[in-house]
Amino acid sequence: MTFFQYGGFGRRMMAFLIDNILLQTAATFVFMLGLSLVGSDIDFATLSSLPFLYYLIAVTMNLFYFTYFHSVTGQTVGKRILGLRVITNAGEPLKARQAFLRWVGYLVSAAFFYLGFIWIAFDSRKQGWHDKIAGTLVVRVDLHPEGVQPDLSAKIP
């Protein structure tokens, strides 16, 4: 049986920060590109809706980014850099539905003063509320020799 070391609060926070910097940069680029295509013919009504449009772009990109990377590779860019991977409680790779549910859990974790994320620091399995909602774990994969990936089919204790 393979045992994993769970991804801790600090490492996960840094990975999330990296991901969010990438996402905000990309969302700003898409937003600015959209504005440049519209041109200078922006009236007051359009101008007042710009913050909402930016937010909509950012949330949509966030949804697709986390759902795609968690379901396809188990790692976002930030998690890859910091040697983390998201797996199911059974030790298997996530399906798209589970990755989406985990993203919805991000909203729940953030909604209550970010307590769902802070929970990671105190949980014995280092699970946030989003992990508990989706039945996932974040494990360290950087502890294995180069090129050797852990057996993700092994059961997690």
Task: Please write the tens of the pLDDT for every residue from 70-107.
Answer: 999 999 999 999 999 999 999 999 999 999 999 999 99
pLDDT digits (tens, 9 = 90+) for 21-70: 999 999 999 999 988 887 767 777 777 888 999 999 999 999 999 999 99
- In sequence order, which residues have a C-beta less than 8 Å from that of residue 144 and are 6 or more positions away? 150
CA distance 65 to 131: 17
Two tokens at 47?
Answer: 């101008």
CA distance 56 to 44: 19
CB 66 within 8 A of CB 76: yes
CA distance 94 to 71: 5
